[in-house]
Amino acid sequence: MKMRLAGFLMFAILSVSILSYGFSGSAFADSHNIPPISASTELPSYENGDRVYVDGSIRDFDPDIHSNTALTYRITDTTGNIVTIGQILPDSNGDFSFNFVSGGSLFKESGDYNIELFFGSIKGETKMLYTGGEFEPSLPGQDNGPGSEPEPEPEPEPEPEPEPEPEPEPEPEPEPEPEPTCGPGTELVNGICQVVKDEEPSGGGCLIATAAYGSELAPQVQFLREIRDNTVMSTTSGAAFMTGFNQLYYSFSPTIADMERENPLFQEAVRMFITPMISTLSIMTLAEDGNDAQVLGLGISVIALNLGMYVAAPAAIGFTVHRQLKSKI
C-alpha cells in the first residue's frame, strides 16, 4: 500500500513539472518572437490625400532611461526616395502613434511604401500600400452628400394657345465647395493637406554619433546636444542654419548609423573620424546663449577649422608627397 502511494505521488510531481516547463517555454517563445519595434497602419491601403495613422510599441522600453529619447520615422517610396520624415516621443509604456498625409508632390508612384522606425540603436519597419489617384471635385447639380438636392429639370409643357410667356425663374447659384479641414501639424496646399515641416525638437536626432559611441548617454553625444540646443538654437541665425542642416543630415544619417551597427570596424573608423570635429566644437562654449554675433563668429571659426583639418591639411600632405615622388623620378 505504501509503495503504491509513493508511486502515485512521484507520478503527480513529474506531471506538474512537465506542465510547468511547457508553459514557461511557451511564454518565453512568445516574448522572444516580439520584434524590438512593432508597428502597423490603420488600413491596408491608402489613396492620394488620405491620412495614414500608425500605431506601435517598443519592446524593451525603460522610462527611466528612454524618457527623453525620440523615435525617428522615415517613409520611403518604391524607389527608396524619402517622402516624409519626423520624430515623436513615446509614452511611459513605450507606445507611440503618429500620422501623415499620403499625397503631395513627393508621392509619385503607387506601390508599397516603407515606414522605417529608428529608436537609439534599434530599428523597426512596416509597410503601407499607396494606390495613388486624384481628387475629383463634385460639379453643380451632382449629389454632394447629405443635405444637398439635385437641381430639378423643368418638365416640358404642352403648347397652349399663344399667351404671354412668364419670366424664367433665376437658377440658384451653386454653393461653393467646402474646403477640406486639415488636422494639427498639416496645412492646405492646392486642395491637399500636407505635413508642416517643423524644426527638429531638441532632445534627439544625433544618429551617427549615437551609433558610433554606442549609447545616447555617451559624454560626446550629450555634449553635441548641449551645443546644439543651448547655444546654436538660442539664436535666430543658428535656428535657420539647423533647419537647413537637418534636411541634409537626415537624408543619409539613418543609413550611416545602420552601417555602423552592422560593421564594428566601420563604427570604429567613424568614431575616429568625428572625434576631432567634436573637440573643435568646444570653441562654441565661449559664446553667450542668445548672442547672434558671437554664435555666428565662433561658428564660422569652427567650420573653417574643420575645413582645414579634413580638407586643406590632407590636400597639402598629398601635394607634398606627390612633389617629392615626382622629384625623385
**For the ranges 29-43, 134-148, 210-224, the one whose mean pLDDT is highest:** 210-224
Q: Are 321 and 274 within one domain?
A: yes
| 248 located within any domain | yes
Q: Are 228 and 193 within one domain?
A: no
| 153 located within any domain | no
Residue 286: predicted pLDDT: 82
Beta bridge partners of 187: 194
The DSSP secondary structure of 114-148, one letter per residue, reads EEEEEETTEEEEEEEEEEE----PPPTTS--STT-
Report the amino acid identity of residue 99: N
Computed over every residue of the chain, the mean pLDDT equals 78
Q: Are 102 and 204 within one domain?
A: no
pTM of the predicted model over 0.75: no
Per the model's pLDDT, the better-predicted residue between 30 and 278 turns out to be 278
Q: Are 281 and 185 within one domain?
A: no
Using pLDDT thresholds of 50, 70 and 90, give the confidence band for residue 230.
confident
Q: Are 86 and 227 within one domain?
A: no
Q: Per residue in 280-299, pLDDT tens?
A: 888 888 888 778 888 888 88
Q: Are 204 and 325 within one domain?
A: yes
| 13 located within any domain | no
| 142 located within any domain | no
Cα–Cα distances (Å) from 215 to 93, 121, 206, 210, 239, in that order, read: 21, 8, 10, 5, 26
| 245 located within any domain | yes
Query: What average pLDDT does range 6-27 have in this prediction?
Result: 56
The parent domain of residue 112 ranges over: 34-134+178-197
| 62 located within any domain | yes
DSSP H or E segment with residue 246: helix 236-262
Phi and psi of 250, rounded to 5°? -80, -5
Q: Are 253 and 120 within one domain?
A: no
Q: Residue 118 maps to which CATH number?
A: 2.60.40.1930
pLDDT at residue 67 tops 90: no
How many structural domains does the chain have?
2
